[in-house]
Amino acid sequence: MPEVGRRGTPPRAEVCETHTAIVFFAGDRAYKAKKPVDLGFLDYTTRVARRDACEREVALNRRFAPDVYLGLGEFSGPDAETPEPLVVMRRMPADRRLSSLVREGVALDDVLRAVARRLAAWHAEAPRGPEVDEQGTRDALLSRWEAGFAQVHALAGDGFVTEGITETEQLVRRYLAGRDQLFASRIRQGRVVDGHGDLLAEDVFCLDDGPRILDCLEFDDRLRYVDGLDDAAFLAMDLEQLGAPEAAAYFLARYGEYSGDPAPASLWHHYVAYRAFVRAKVSLIQARQGAPGARAASRRLASATLRHLRTSAVRLTLVGGLPGSGKSTLSGALADRLGVTLLSSDRVRKELAGIPAEQSAAAGYAEGLYTPEWTAKTYAALLDRAAALLAAGESVVLDATWTDAAHRAAARLVAERTGTELVALRCRVPDDVSAARLRERGPCPSDAGPDVAAAMSAREPAWPEAVAVDTSGPLESAVARALAAVQPWGTGQAPVFRRPYMEPD
Residue spans per domain, the chain: 14-90, 97-312, 315-502
Confidence bin at 435 (pLDDT 50/70/90): confident
**End-to-end CA gap in the chain:** 38
The candidate with the shortest Cα–Cα distance to 386, out of 417, 359, 432, is 417
pLDDT in tens, 318-349: 999 988 889 999 999 999 999 999 999 999 99
Assigned CATH topology for domain 315-502: Rossmann fold (3.40.50)
pLDDT of residue 59: 96
pLDDT of residue 439: 74
Mean of the pLDDT values across residues 363-370? Answer: 68
Is the confidence at residue 104, as pLDDT, over 90?
A: yes
pLDDT of residue 502: 36
**Under CATH, which architecture does the 14-90 domain have?**
2-Layer Sandwich (3.30)
For the domain covering 97-312, report its CATH number: 3.90.1200.10
pLDDT in tens, 455-500: 777 677 889 999 999 999 999 999 999 999 998 876 455 555 555 4
* Spatial separation of the C-alpha atoms in residues 379 and 385, rounded to whole Å: 10
Region of poorest pLDDT, from 199-203, 230-234, 400-404, 435-439: 435-439
Confidence bin at 75 (pLDDT 50/70/90): confident
Helices (H) and strands (E) in the chain, counts: 19, 14
Is the confidence at residue 411, as pLDDT, over 70?
A: yes
pLDDT in tens, 182-213: 999 999 999 999 999 999 999 999 999 999 99
The candidate with the shortest Cα–Cα distance to 168, out of 151, 149, 153, 147, is 149
Q: What is the pTM of this model?
A: 0.88
Contacts of 130 (CB under 8 A, 6+ apart): none
pLDDT in tens, 237-279: 999 999 999 999 999 999 999 999 999 999 999 999 999 999 9
Contact 216, 197 (CB under 8 A): yes
What length is written for the chain?
A: 505
Contact 383, 316 (CB under 8 A): no
Q: Which helix (H) or strand (E) holds 240?
A: helix 228-241
* Spatial separation of the C-alpha atoms in residues 431 and 326, rounded to whole Å: 12
Q: Tell me the sheet residues that pair with 85.
A: 74
Alpha-helical segments (H) within 108-164: 109-125, 130-134, 138-156
pLDDT of residue 317: 98
Neighbours of 371 (CB within 10 A): 12
Confidence bin at 10 (pLDDT 50/70/90): low
Region of poorest pLDDT, from 50-64, 162-176, 362-376, 381-395: 362-376
The candidate with the shortest Cα–Cα distance to 121, out of 255, 267, 221, 264, is 255
* Spatial separation of the C-alpha atoms in residues 182 and 420, rounded to whole Å: 14
Classified as helix, coil or strand, 189 is coil
Q: If you ran DSSP here, which 8-state letter would residue 9 be given? A: S
pLDDT of residue 157: 67
Half-sphere exposure of 345 (CA within 13 A, CB side): 27
Is the confidence at residue 504, as pLDDT, over 60?
A: no
Is the confidence at residue 385, as pLDDT, over 80?
A: yes
